[in-house]
Amino acid sequence: MHSGLVFTPPWELNFDYPSKKPTYRTIIQPTTSGRGEIRASLQPYPIWEIEYSLNYARGSEQMPNSVYQYMVGFYMAMGGQFSDFLYLDPNDNAVTDNFLAVGDGVTNSFQLTRSIGPGTDIVQNPGFLPSPTFEINQDPTTDFTMGLLGIVTFGTAPASGQVITWSGSYYYRVRFDDDGLEFDQFMDQMWELKSLRLKSVIL
């Protein structure tokens, strides 16, 4: 199940800095000669594993607008691992003049991606504040539509050799990586969550 809800807890107040890692799936088999190996990648883009620890969360199930109520309520609304949702990483949520593709004169639809050094990551959920903007050979264009899962379609295919760049914000699409959320109470209406794990989803 896919949710359009955005996970927005008060990061700056309670959470430690996260651990975050990109992961891939690769099949590796030795060659029949016993020299070397054969490798096959099962995914072109990484799956991100993100883990936070919540030092304290004030509130209760019935305390309106408390951190504890928000966390437990959002987790229940997602059904644990069942539904994926949008996550705005407070430190990684926008690009400027990001390389997208080189035109070939025929293709007019492109999957949004973002560059991380020499690496490339998929962008399935562009933000709308601000909306994505595009340039073709450094010339801004408004002749495009944004489709589902970050597919941009230009009215006219960019000419061969033309460089397409984009600027804008984006969300990660993630799910909870556990079917249980273990809060420890250490004072009246004060809670600690030692591990909150998120895992990105490629649709």
Residue partners of 172: CB distance under 8 A and separation at least 6: 48, 50, 86, 87, 88, 89, 125, 198, 200
What is the mean predicted confidence (pLDDT) over 155-180?
96
In this structure, what are the phi and psi dihedrals at residue 47, rounded to the nearest 5 degrees? Answer: -100, 130
d(CA 24, CA 46): 5
> In this structure, are strands 2-7 and 84-87 parallel, antiparallel, or unpaired?
parallel
Task: Please answer whether residues 182 and 194 qualify as being in contact, where contact means their C-beta atoms are separated by less than 8 angstroms.
Answer: yes
pLDDT band of residue 189 (cuts 50, 70, 90) is confident
Of the candidate ranges 29-38, 52-61, 80-89, the one whose mean pLDDT is the lowest: 52-61
d(CA 54, CA 36): 46
What is the mean predicted confidence (pLDDT) over 101-122?
96
d(CA 200, CA 87): 9
What is the mean predicted confidence (pLDDT) over 63-86?
92
Number of H helices, E strands in the chain: 2, 18
Average confidence score pLDDT of the chain: 90
pLDDT band of residue 15 (cuts 50, 70, 90) is low
Beta pairing partners, 136: 139, 164
pLDDT for position 163:
98
Residue partners of 191: CB distance under 8 A and separation at least 6: 54, 56, 57, 58, 59, 68, 183, 184, 185
pLDDT tens track for 118-158: 999 999 999 977 789 999 999 999 999 998 899 999 999 99
Percent of the chain clearing pLDDT 70 (strictly above) = 97
What is the mean predicted confidence (pLDDT) over 54-78?
87
